[in-house]
Structure 1
Amino acid sequence: MKDETLPRRGFRPAERLIELANAVRADPGLPRGALAELLARHGESPEDLTEQAFSPDDAVRLRAAAARLAALLAESDTDLAAHAINALLAECGARPHLSRHGGHAWHLHVDRGEDADWADWFLASGALALAQILTEYGRVPWGECASARCGTLYLGTGPGSARRYCSTACATRERVAAHRRRKRAGG
């Protein structure tokens, strides 16, 4: 019998990481309410996102954690990224454990437990997600869009060759611009 209280899909910490990192890069002072909405879209419960449970001070620390992880997401060297991930996991006292709370399916936690604050939780879960992705692909499949007009962080875990752009729109815009430059230079 299927348990209807469980989500249809599991947690997607890497997607949450990318979205939060991009949001904080776009607005370093992203309000607490906007952070709470983003976290809610990624499965955090409303009770955990009240102002008492997720305070303005928590929002400040979470934005700082997102900025730290955004810098890691811009790292293209696999060895440097692996060392940075290991340092974050060590800093967060990451000890993996399975957790099931708030009606969610079993999922992996790597923070200090119930005493972990939002920033510690986000750093630990983000580092774990990136560690899992790096080991699965054997390289850094994330990055910063190569378009000079963009700079959005992306996660390139889909099929095909390694990505350089956050979207087909940016890739197409850059190809068209390069074609026009070649055409002007040749004629």
Structure 2
Amino acid sequence: MDLVNAVRADPDLSREALAELLARHGESPDDLTEREFSGRDADDLRAAAARLAAILTESDTDRAAHAINALLAECGARPHLSRHGEHPWHLHIDRGEEAGWAEWFLASSALALAQVLTEYGRAPWGECAAARCGTLYLGTGPGSARRYCSTACASRERVAAHRRRKRAGG
């Protein structure tokens, strides 16, 4: 989600900024050198993030499911267990070592979103309803469906609505 939000905020996010973001999410610095994560890889990853944003802004569960299925079919990869660096065994759904960064991102994101959608029976993601925000969120916590990316946005909107009602009534 962070990668998609970062690219939505800055569609021209630099290769270096993308590498820093990936490193903060556990990718090895050795895998993020210019040689291993090139400018072309960054271009492809930005395009992949934009494609994923289209799914994450889809609130209709059926359309979201069809979009995820299309992405999984396009990736055409089989799930496999992977362990690298200090990471424990985990599931990958890409073409292995020859998979590019964008393919890895799209395939693993599609798999994760498919798991979330099936667990919740709906698309529990969306775009923050707060004015001037637009951050994408994943609402997998307890309770009713979320409308805001954070408690700060929800509070800001409640206060603004309260002030509007107060002005209109008095």
Cα distance in 2 for partners of 1:170, 1:43 equals 28
2:116 to 133, 138, 157: 133
CA distance in 1, matches of 2:24, 2:119: 26
Which one of the candidate residues 124, 128, 144 is aligned to 1:161?
A: 144
Where is the helix percentage greater, Structure 1 or Structure 2?
2
Deviation at 1:70, TM superposition (A): 1.2
Aligned-CA RMSD value: 1.0
Q: Which of residues 37, 41, 45 in structure 2 aligns to 1:58?
A: 41
Letter in 2 for 1:143: G
Matched, 1:92 2:82: no
Name the structure 2 match of 1:117: 100
- Are 1:47 and 2:30 counterparts? yes
User: Once superposed, which parts of structure 1, at least 4 consecutive aligned residues long, lie more than 4 Å away?
Assistant: none
Unaligned runs of 5+ in 2: none
The residue aligned with 2:154 is 171
Percent identical:
84
1:119 maps to a residue whose letter is: A
**Which whole-Å CA distance do the structure 2 matches of 1:154 and 1:132 have between them?**
16
Q: Number of residues paired by the alignment?
A: 170
Residue 53 of structure 2 is matched in structure 1 by: 70
**Under a length normalisation based on structure 2, what TM-score does the superposition of the two structures give?**
0.96
Shift in Å, 1:119:
0.6
What is aligned with 1:13?
Answer: none
Cα separation, 1, equivalents of 2:60 and 2:165: 30
Cα deviation code 1:37-79 (max 9, x no counterpart): 1111111111111100100010000000011111211111111
Q: In 1, Cα distance between the equivalents of 2:87 and 2:133?
A: 35
The TM-score, its normalising length taken from structure 1, stands at: 0.88
